[in-house]
Structure 1
Amino acid sequence: MIKIYKNDEINTDIREINNLEIDSWINVTTPNSDEITELSKKLDIDEKYLIKILDEEEQSRIDIKDGIQTIIIDVPTEIKKNKYSVNITNPLIIMQVRNKYIVTISTKNNNVLEEFISGIVPEFFTGKKSRFTFQILYKVALTYIKDLKQINQKINKAEDLMQKSTQNKDLLDLMHLRKALIYFKTSLKGNQIVLDRIIQNNIIDLYEDDKTLLENTIIEYQQAIEMAEIYNGLLNSTIDAYGTIISNNLNSVMKVLAAFTIVISIPTMVASFMGMNVPLGVFSHNQFSFLIIVLISLFLALIVAYILRNKNML
């Protein structure tokens, strides 16, 4: 889907327009082959180049070619997979085309650009391409931080559940979270490298009004990376604790079963001795002999159970 938007400092409300204009923003979401061809013709960009950068496995990087500055970063996205909510990252492409237009291309819907479309981002103008680029980078960092906080809440919830039960589903949830944190940490470091290169090589024109925004963007990325590393460490500790608890629970069950086996074997042993084909003296003629044998068996079993209980084996 291709949509064109425009606003300026006079007409601040973002509006959708039908035709391509100077200083407009072309937003492309999940494009099909026909839309890629259309975009290639409108912007005079090699179609093969567009297909290449739309690869979902494309790494975060910067490319400058034929007056087109292309920035590829990863943005966090949540998808449904086998009834689980899974956090992944997908590439977001930002292109400044010959200083005339700014183009954003997403292979999946993301909330970052929706904020610009809805007009809730302050000081956003489609003609100020450098600021717009930094604003996108800043919003992406904030989205990572928000998602990381949600992941931390899920980790805390898993720790609470771990005190009550240890089910396979809980462990699978933690595995999905660990996978998400690995994706996030890798993508954040890639995005930070892109940001560092933008600053060091002056790839994007930096205006005085945008310096504070750039500084805030750098700080947010550093904070997001630190959060991802901390939460990853916490999650690894939680998963290790899960394994230890499961092992301890299994040992406890085996210990109880072993103790129970010993206790119930006492009556069997007594009955076996009394059932041997040997003279039993007074027991053979006593009408209460069966009851006496049962009481002796129970008494011995209780003594053994008491001893095992004192040794924390039952």
Structure 2
Amino acid sequence: MTTQVYLTRDGRLGRTDDLSARNSWVVLTAPAPEELERVERELDIPPDFLRAALDEEEQPRVEVDGQRVLVLLRGPVLRGDPAFPRYETLPLAVIVTPAHLVTVCLEPMEIVESLAQQGRVHTAKRTQFLMHVMYRTATLFLRYLRLIDRRSDELERSLQHAMKNVELIRLLELEKSLVYFSTSLRANQIVMDKLLRLHLKPGEGAVNGEQASAAVTTEPGVLRLYDEDREFLEDVITENRQALEMADVYSNILSSTMDAFASIIANNLNVVMKFLTSVTIVLAVPTIVASTFGMNVTLPLQDHPLAFWFVVGLTVVLSGGAAWWLGRRGMF
């Protein structure tokens, strides 16, 4: 993927070719080694920061190196067939320096793309930019959770008459997605709480939001948190906590639903087998009667002109009686 650089000019977010432009936002998506080396060299960013999000199993955390901060989150992604999507999570790194913002991810993520397309972020306000990324991550989790809930409802309706495991396997995929979501949301929550307690502290002497968001210090609170940013971060934490609770609730419901519907599938199959067994019994009666009267021995009424109709009538009566008896016992 090509490195993309964005810069806010006159209140509008737009593309630029100047990688080292002050207050720019550099987007790295599945970057090549030479791209990483260029960003590392021109923006003076530790290589560990740039490569952190390139490990698919990397866990959310916060790291500080002088005046550079790495905030690693996990965001939701959609994979597989659009009709039956698979929900997973991938790491997303947000690197904040005194003059630049850098985001790194393994593949295109809706979180980054939506921020770039809507253009509501101000690249000079680095603290607020970080809040926007975290808020967009939490809201995207919520949206995907609602889609999972809607999809699980559809599968539940189809499972009521199912006798195969296809729907059950799809429910299992949704349950796995919820486990991924819960784990990632819980880890993101720890990062947000840590930012609120340690790495974001009230600034002093701020004149406006831009100065506040751009303020960086080498003290324990690397990014200073002002009243405006603190309220935003609290909203982000609330959204993330809501998504975490929804994921836990949906996961518990889905787990119970799968157990119930596994029994329903087995019961549906038993009902079909019971019906087929009853049909077999009813159909066995004409076979027995026909076999009896087809033997090459002396039989009653064998010389009677209505013998054939007598056999047919006897077969109908016996088959009807067997069907009535089985029906009374709920076999049909």
Q: Same fold (TM over 0.5)?
A: yes
Q: 1:4 aligns to what?
A: 5
Q: 1:113 aligns to what?
A: 112
User: Quick one: which amino acid aligns to residue 39 of structure 1?
Assistant: V
**Residues 1:44 and 2:44 aligned together:** yes
**For residues 281 and 257 of structure 2, what CA distance do their matches in structure 1 show?**
36
Q: 1:193 aligns with which of 190, 193, 214?
A: 190
**How does 1:256-271 map onto structure 2 within 5 Å?**
256-271=275-290
**How does 1:1-314 map onto structure 2 within 5 Å?**
1-7=2-8, 11-19=10-18, 20-47=20-47, 50-80=50-80, 84-97=84-97, 99-121=98-120, 124-163=121-160, 165=162, 167-202=164-199, 203=221, 204-275=223-294, 279-281=298-300, 283-314=301-332
CA pair 211-50 structure 1, distance change in 2 beyond 3 A: closer
Which region of structure 1 is more displaced relative to structure 2, 295-304 or 47-56?
A: 47-56
Which region of structure 1 is more displaced relative to structure 2, 42-51 or 83-92?
A: 42-51
CA pair 272-7 structure 1, distance change in 2 beyond 3 A: closer
- Given that 1:13 and 1:119 are in contact with CA atoms closer than 8 Å, whether structure 2 keeps it comes out as no
Which region of structure 1 is more displaced relative to structure 2, 288-297 or 70-79?
A: 288-297
Superposition TM-score, scaled by structure 2 size: 0.85
Q: Secondary structure at the match of 1:205?
A: strand
- Given that 1:60 and 1:191 are in contact with CA atoms closer than 8 Å, whether structure 2 keeps it comes out as yes
**For residues 128 and 162 of structure 2, what CA distance do their matches in structure 1 show?**
50
Q: Secondary structure at the match of 1:183?
A: helix
Percent identity among equivalent residues?
31
Consecutive unaligned residues of structure 2, counting only runs of 5 or more, are 200-220
Which region of structure 1 is more displaced relative to structure 2, 237-246 or 192-201?
A: 237-246
User: Quick one: which amino acid aligns to residue 32 of structure 1?
Assistant: A
CA pair 246-164 structure 1, distance change in 2 beyond 3 A: closer
User: Quick one: which amino acid aligns to residue 38 of structure 1?
Assistant: R
Consecutive unaligned residues of structure 1, counting only runs of 5 or more, are none
- Given that 1:4 and 1:18 are in contact with CA atoms closer than 8 Å, whether structure 2 keeps it comes out as yes
Question: What is the root-mean-square deviation in Å for CA atoms of aligned residues?
Answer: 2.3
**For residues 49 and 131 of structure 1, what CA distance do their matches in structure 2 show?**
20
**For residues 310 and 138 of structure 1, what CA distance do their matches in structure 2 show?**
63
- Given that 1:23 and 1:102 are in contact with CA atoms closer than 8 Å, whether structure 2 keeps it comes out as yes
**For residues 277 and 208 of structure 1, what CA distance do their matches in structure 2 show?**
104
**For residues 161 and 263 of structure 1, what CA distance do their matches in structure 2 show?**
31
How many Å apart are 1:35 and its aligned residue?
0.7
**For residues 131 and 222 of structure 1, what CA distance do their matches in structure 2 show?**
20
- Given that 1:166 and 1:242 are in contact with CA atoms closer than 8 Å, whether structure 2 keeps it comes out as no
- Given that 2:7 and 2:16 are in contact with CA atoms closer than 8 Å, whether structure 1 keeps it comes out as yes
How many Å apart are 1:312 and its aligned residue?
0.8
How many Å apart are 1:144 and its aligned residue?
0.6
- Corresponding pairs, count: 308
Deviation string, structure 1 residues 166-192 (Cα, Å, up to 9, x no partner): 554433332222221111111111100
